[in-house]
Structure formats: structure tokens, C-alpha cells
Amino acid sequence: MRRQITGYSNPTVKHLRSLRDKKHRRREGKFLVEGLRLLTDALDSGRVPEMLVMAEARDPHPLLATLERAVDEAGGEIIETTPDILGKITGKDNPQIVAGMFAEFDTSLKLIDRSNASIWLVAQALRDPGNLGTMLRTGDALGAGGLILIDDCADPFSVEAVRASMGAVFTQQVAQAPWSDFLRWLRGDAEQLPGQLVAASLRDAVAYRGAPYSAPCFVLIGNESRGLPEEYEAACDLRVTMPMRGRADSLNAAVAAAVLGYEVLASLDG
């Protein structure tokens, strides 16, 4: 279905615009993705937007035509509007020529099949959406299965997280769970399930280089300013530390995930 929108006060414009806000995303179960590149990444991963919003008087582009066809075939809606209104929706002065609305993915832990990958990234109380998106991007590069968000984290469906993920939000599985649920899922009830939980830590830790990693390896990174709670670290199978040769005692969270993740990858491959 196709239609044109020319008015700022159109309900669809208001609805799309409201998705910049986490509360509305949660209530509607939808999120926005801006730009042809990210939307093409989504399509390549089999994700078709329910609604496509395009600027009038845009330059033709073969990828955009492909996107339009996919949305049409999936029975989605295609909206043409002015660049100004598209800017109002995305909150940008220089908006991309296209945005898409997707249904949020199911982030239940039970959807994760740990046998799908040797590495899984796990973040606890991660507050920065840029760090979250960067961890998704790193996970994609590592061949990780996905990112498990523990406790109160930034929103993986925020524009900042989606953008920083460079499309990896569509290829990496994302799950959200409180710590207790995660631990129960990880360890299993009756039988001991496979899975090594490794914390990037400063306490009682061994050198990250050459540590005895095993698959499936769950790499756990704590909050940006507080790190991991002590009892969370205590529940891990392995605590590892990276060299800190300077004044600071920690790395950026997404950087720590990457340095440790690449070490785990090399160890499991080697």
C-alpha cells in the first residue's frame, strides 16, 4: 500500500516520531531504522520493515527500489513525504532519504540456542547505547551468536544503538533478562548445561591471555562506571584481567568486550 503524507500533524507522522522515545517503542513494540545502508543490511538479513517512509524528490537508487519491492511483497506500507517531515520524524536537520519501521524482535532468553555459536557476549547494566551497538558490531565480527543484556541496560532498539551496530542488530541475536533468570538459564535446572561464564574483572583474576576458555563461552562485561557486582563475578567460571599499564584501571566497556572476545576466538580456534 502506498500513500502520500504532506501534513506535520498526520497521525502516522506523530506515531513514527514517538518511536524516538523508549517508552513509546516499548508500548508499540516498534522501532525506527534510518538510512538506506542500514535498511539494506536489514533486508540482507531477512528483515523487512512494516513501513517505509521515503523523501519525495529523492534520487533514484537501485537499493531503494529493491527495498520498496520487498516491502510491497510483504504487504507493508510505503509512505512518501517531504524531506522536512522526514526530518521531523527522525529528529535530524539533514535526514536520510528513507527510514523504516520494524516490529521489535522477541528478546526472550529462551529463544537463544547456545549451540549455535562458540562465543556469546553478555553485558550487565550497560548504559550507553553506542557501547551496546558497538558490542553487537564486534559480536558480528567475532562470529558470536548474539548479545545478552542483563539487568537494566540501554535499549538495543534505540536509534543510537542500531546505528552503532552497523546493521549487526539484524544479524546478532539479542536477549534481555535479569541476572537470576540468566544464571538459571545458563546453568540449567537438573543437569549441568554446557557454557563457560567469563568475567572481565579486576578481582581474583587470571591474565586474559592464554586463559583456559571453552565453548560455548559467555563473555561478561559490567557497567561502564561500576563494573560487575562482586557476587556476579563470584558466580563466573573464570575471571580474567587485561593489562592496565597506565593510570586508569579499566577500559571502555565495548573495548573490553572486543579485546577479550578476540582472545577467546583465538583460543577456541587455536
The CA distance from 157 to 169, in Å, is 8
Q: Provide the minimum distance between the beta carbon of 36 and a second copy in the complex, in angstroms, as a whole number.
A: 14
The span of 17-25, 78-86, 90-98, 262-270 binding a second copy (CB under 8 A) equals: 262-270
Q: Please pick, from the candidates 159, 168, 197, 264, the single residue that binds a second copy as defined by CB under 8 A.
A: 168
Residue span 61-100 as binding mask against a second copy, x where in contact by CB under 8 A, dash where not: ----------------------------------------
Q: d(Cα 119, Cα 216) in Å, to the nearest integer?
A: 6
* Sheet strand arrangement including 30-34: 2-5, 77-81, 51-55, 98-103, 30-34
DSSP string computed for 132-156: HHHHHHHHHHHT--EEEEESS---T
30 binds a second copy (CB under 8 A): no
Q: Taking a C-beta distance cutoff of 8 angstroms, is the pair 130, 166 a contact? A: no
Q: How far apart are CA 86 and CA 64, in angstroms?
A: 16
DSSP-derived 3-state class of residue 86: helix
Answer yes or no whether residue 158 interacts with a second copy by CB under 8 A.
no
Least distance between a second copy and beta carbon 132 (Å) = 12
**Are 69 and 194 in contact, with CB atoms under 8 Å apart?**
no
The answer to the question of residue 141 lying near a second copy (CB under 8 A) is yes
Q: Minimum CB separation from a second copy for residue 2, in Å? A: 30
Q: Which of 81, 107, 171, 173 binds a second copy (CB under 8 A)?
A: 171
By the rule CB under 8 A, 206 interacts with a second copy: no
- How many residues touch a second copy under the rule CB under 8 A: the total is 37
Is there binding between residue 200 and a second copy (CB under 8 A)?
A: no
Joined grid coordinates for residue 123: 553485558
Least distance between a second copy and beta carbon 260 (Å)? 9
Residue 37 CB neighbours (<10 A):
14
142 near a second copy, judged by CB under 8 A = yes
Query: Could you give phi then psi for residue 209, rounded to 5 degrees?
Result: -80, 120
251 binds a second copy (CB under 8 A): yes
Cα–chain center distance at 208 = 25
Q: Which stretch binds a second copy (CB under 8 A): 94-102, 182-190, 211-219, 242-250?
A: 242-250
Binding residues vs a second copy (CB under 8 A): 41, 44-45, 130, 134, 137-143, 164, 166-168, 171-172, 209, 242-248, 250-252, 254-255, 258-259, 262-263, 265-266
